[in-house]
Structure 1
Amino acid sequence: MMKNKTLLISATALMAVAPLAALTSTTQAASTDADTAITKTIMHTSIGYDKNGKSTGNKYYAYRTVNVMTTPVKINGDFYYRIYGSNQYIKATNIDGVTRKITHNTYIYRSSNGRTSYNGRWKLYAGQTVTTYGGSYKFRNGKHYFRVGGPQKQYIKSYNLGPVISVNTNVNTNSSSSQETNSEETTVTVTDKRAALCVEVPDKDAVQPSGKYAKQGDKFTVDRLEKGTRADTGSDGDDDGELAIYHIKGTNYWIYSHSVKAAKEIPTVTYNKTKKSLIQFTKPTDIYNADGTKIDFKGDQVRKQGGSYRVDKLLYIWVPSEKKAELFYHLVSNSVYSNHGEVTFSDGYVKASDVQFDPDSTALTPSNTAAEAQAAAVKK
């Protein structure tokens, strides 16, 4: 575990080793009228729309700049920017993007089978947030990906991302900021004379000293506070009291919490839980097959459990006996404690409404819709 080391680098040196930020839709005032129009970068190829939300057929390509009116307009529930000097509108999400939470550790891709980096990192972790732009793309492998940067190709599999947690478009006309502040970010100030900067150990759940250090008074934006295995505080994060590690945004570096003072608190995540999705059985529960029928345990039933069980899928399944689709979790385990000992099965599902999901573990996103589950059942 890293405490105090004896090497010093300046904040300038740290910035030199940190990667350049990816292209974003940062705005600049248009020279014609700063209160009327601003210049933005289109991050996702966009269709032009009229004031009623009807397509005009015009196309605006990614990574080109465009002058738009400062105040976004809401059309049919979505926000649009009107192009300066015309009656064409572009969806704001294709410019400002939206914030999503990463639900599974993920690589960044430039193609179906080619990986790339994003802000100097080749891998992003569950619990972090990322900005995505526009709708998803379907690659040649049949999977869907969201764009997270540019102009180089940078995509994340949609499967590894949760639903939108915030829209980055600033709808407050009294503010000049184009994006909302991420509530899970804060600024930390180094309080130690020398604070070690750590990096992840490849293919291991750990960090190690990088040989670089920050000095007292240096400030960094951090986007994750973590306990657990990687922070060397035990698998459950309970060891070593309040010790944790911060991830320095836009870099590969981590810094221990005892070496800094944070401007505000951000949620602490436990590394062990961010790698898993967990549920608890809080009452007697039935287990189902993939076709929506109950597994017959000859009258036995899963009982209330003291521990947690891993799940790896969240999906709708048509339940024939109820004539409706229900949301189910897929169990990783093939056995569960029951009222009379233990029951085993080859492939088990439990209703989401019958169990309690651990909010500190990795959230799952439904892989289908209720309508799709019903349609699949009708085809059989």
Structure 2
Amino acid sequence: MKKNKIMLISVVALMGTAPILSTTTSAHTVQADSSITKTIMHNALAYDKDGNSTGHKYYVYGSVHVDPKLVTINGSQYYKVTDKDEYIKVTNIDGVTRKITHNAYIYRTSTQRTPYGMTANSKKWKFYKGETVTTYGGSYKFKNGKRYFRVGGPRKQYIRSYNLGPVISTNTASNLTSNESNNATNTNAEEATVTVKNAYGVNIYDNQGKAIKKNLKAGTKFIVDKLEVTPFADHFPSTAAQAGMYRIKGTDNWLLAIDVTADKKLVKHDYDHEHYGYIKFVKDTDVYNADGTMQNHNGAKIVKQGGNLKVDKLIYIWVPSENKAELFYHLVGTKFYATGNVDQIEVGNDAYVKASDVKFVNIGLTLTPSNTAAEAEATSLKK
């Protein structure tokens, strides 16, 4: 019992990486071996096991007892409310980390900046470009028509969505059932010792998937601090890729999980699902530039296809030809299968597709607009 409580408290200590962590971690405490207490950081609807709303709402700054195991429903992650058939999205509790793209004040209302710091011991009332911050849930539309994300509490603390970039990481650390926790020591600690198995061809890889040291001796030990399905997982056979790779502590070098044994079970992260949203091209689709003009590919469009494609931003762009702002997804890829007599079209690194032309797939990150239609129009008038 005591060991399990210590393990769960260690999970709390690891949650989140943003500068304002101290505003919420004190609320993440142990309730029981099979339940932890969380603070609701954004008004949250409860869902059933199929992802349908139950109509019950959990209100901001209230406490809720949840199972430590994350549950995936239709590709999104939820906490299950202990002893209830209710699920709450983790982003309304643990939040996500975003990068500040413009210097940003912290507001308490649409017209008033916060007169106090982010915490009782902090005088911070402004964020600077390049810093990171934790945001919770979706954005709010204030009376001035602009959208803001909650960045703290219980004091009212918000940052304009216009000053924030896309999500760069999630803040949820726990991903094990309570039964798994009982069978492992310090299960969720992001550090373990791994030992090379008695197998030929065990290598160390760099952060591009290139072998930089080959044929390690069986029995060689390493301290590792992360288990991840990496961005370069497609360099390896699917079984090895999905098992993940261990990062050697203090480096950006990696070992295939199937090549070693670990003394502790680490949370397995999926880089792509923690950094990107996904869309599906359900019809032939035009591509646009950041200024709202349509790209010219001699009549070719991105072809309707079955795969899921990465996006990393949802943004309003003023479309001059339509004289209105439209909601767009920013494409992560630069080459796409096309219609017509060409196999692929090259769209570049700053290409967009209308949200109304594609289907958002509920896996990975749930993207929210980083600005408003009014802000997009105002930006176009300045050019």
Structure-1-length-normalised TM-score = 0.44
Q: Who wins on radius of gyration, i.e. which is larger?
A: 1
**Which structure: greater helix fraction?**
2
